Amino acid sequence: MSPAADRWLDGDAGPVVRPYALTGGRTRPSGESFDLVSMVVAIRGSRADPLGLEPEHLVVLHRCRLPISVADLAADLDLPLGVVRILIADLREGGLVAVHHPVPMRLTDPRLLREVADGLRKL
């Protein structure tokens, strides 16, 4: 591959304009990552400083007044998961949302799994 072509690869290619324009070209969230079923919830009493926040941040913030999963947020907003994760990480850094991480160990609880099976039977 020619050196000229190399410039257009990966980080050298600069920000991915669409849809990562929303995130200032960042493609990885800050801090620890979230699972697809991590639950995001707005922190009561926190005040969003509109400076430095994109309209999409505010939309996310609005959506998580009740706990909502990362996957639900991405599907609701029709944004790629990667973008939504970055927006959530920004809000968490700003102390505006809390992120609850699933503890997979819980899946060792047969009682919980039976509740899931029973719930499915009612479908």
Among 15, 30, 50, 116, binds other proteins (CB under 8 A): 116
Q: Are 41 and 64 in contact (CB under 8 A)?
A: yes
Q: Which residue type does 108 have?
A: T
Measured at the CA of 38, the angle between CA 32 and CA 40, to 5 degrees, comes to 95
Among 2, 49, 52, 123, binds other proteins (CB under 8 A): 123
Q: Which residue type does 29 have?
A: P
Task: Classify the phi-psi angles of 100: left when phi > 0, otherwise alpha if psi is within -120 to 50, otherwise beta.
Answer: beta
Site for other proteins in 55-94 (CB under 8 A): 65-67, 69, 71-72, 74-75, 78-83, 92
Instruction: Tell me how far, at minimum, the Cβ of 8 lies from other proteins, in Å.
Output: 6
Instruction: Tell me how far, at minimum, the Cβ of 55 lies from other proteins, in Å.
Output: 19
Question: Rounded CA gap, 41 and 120, in Å?
Answer: 26
Q: Are 99 and 38 in contact (CB under 8 A)?
A: yes
Instruction: Tell me how far, at minimum, the Cβ of 93 lies from other proteins, in Å.
Output: 11
Number of residues that bind other proteins (CB under 8 A): 60
Question: Rounded CA gap, 81 and 70, in Å?
Answer: 8
Residue 42 contacts other proteins per CB under 8 A: yes
Query: Interface residues with other proteins (CB under 8 A)?
Result: 5, 8-10, 13, 16, 19-20, 27, 32, 35-39, 41-46, 65-67, 69, 71-72, 74-75, 78-83, 92, 95, 97-108, 110, 112-117, 119-121, 123
